[in-house]
Chain A
Amino acid sequence: QKEVEQDPGPLSVPEGAIVSLNCTYSNSAFQYFMWYRQYSRKGPELLMYTYSSGNKEDGRFTAQVDKSSKYISLFIRDSQPSDSATYLCAMRESNAGNMLTFGGGTRLMVKP
């Protein structure tokens, strides 16, 4: 079993839809959680960073962490075709020297 599980998709939604991307993890030592967006043939871009349970909002993006259930989510409101990309969740332990454990990535396609 992988430490971090992420549905690979592809997830196809119409423009304007609310998108929910999810990751589950098994290591209770993970304390810091990130979401990266990766366009084809590009490096990952940091979207959201959080370390506490609850919600964190940034524009159309909301990151949600539930440490008791070992479950994190990224919500995208009013999705746009430009949101079409692969979304990677990543997480790390407190004293891991920033070594990240990645999910496998979910490919999202937003159709106009």
Chain B
Amino acid sequence: GAVVSQHPSWVICKSGTSVKIECRSLDFQATTMFWYRQFPKQSLMLMATSNEGSKATYEQGVEKDKFLINHASLTLSTLTVTSAHPEDSSFYICSANLPDTQYFGPGTRLTVL
């Protein structure tokens, strides 16, 4: 199956700092990647759709200036949480799009102190 990696797998940061999360498709190219957020015991919540070479499409209620997405190549998308606050603490998961369905990364656990 298709392999998607995320880095880092977990990160702890101080309030007010910015954190960058990388999502890579390892054995295929993905023109579209998705970023999700997941709270404990809840399903995935789509944050944005990342398209290679163009601006990301954000879901309603997601602040584009706070969650910066860059999809600079066919194998890499990044999510930067700017000026992070404790309420941004969550599990962030990316997925890469193939013709049949989405393949997910292992997730990044962000804790903001």
Binding site for B on A (CB under 8 A): 32, 34, 36, 41-46, 49, 88, 90, 92, 97-100, 102-105, 107
Shortest Cβ distance from A8 into B: residue: B41
- Complex contact A88–B101 (CB within 8 A): no
A77 CB, nearest partner CB in chain B, Å: 22
A45 touches B101 (CB 8 A): no
A-binding residues in B (CB < 8 A): 1, 4, 6, 32, 41-44, 46, 49, 91, 93, 95, 97-98, 100-107, 109
**B43, A104: Cβ atoms closer than 8 Å:** yes
Contact B104 A44 (CB under 8 A): yes
Q: Which of B46, B49, B91, B101 contacts A46 (CB 8 A)?
A: B101
- Please tell me which one of the listed residues B49, B101, B104 contacts residue A32 in the complex, with CB atoms under 8 A apart: B101
B44 with A41: CB separation less than 8 A:
no
Distance, CA A90 to CA B46, complexed state (A): 13
Contact A88 B107 (CB under 8 A): no
Chain B residues with CB below 8 A from A41, complex form = 91, 107, 109
Also in contact, A105 and B102, with CB within 8 A (given A41-B107, A42-B107, A43-B6): no
A92 CA to B44 CA, complexed, in Å: 15
Within 8 Å CB of A32, what residues of B?
100-101
User: Which chain A residue has the least Cβ–Cβ distance from B108?
Assistant: A43
A-B contact pairs, 27 of them (CB 8 A): A32-B100, A32-B101, A34-B101, A41-B91, A41-B107, A42-B106, A42-B107, A43-B4, A43-B6, A43-B93, A43-B104, A43-B107, A44-B44, A44-B93, A44-B104, A45-B104, A46-B103, A46-B104, A88-B43, A98-B97, A98-B101, A100-B101, A100-B102, A102-B43, A102-B44, A103-B43, A104-B42
Q: Are A36 and B104 in contact (CB under 8 A)?
A: yes
Cα of A42 to Cα of B104 in the assembled complex, Å: 9
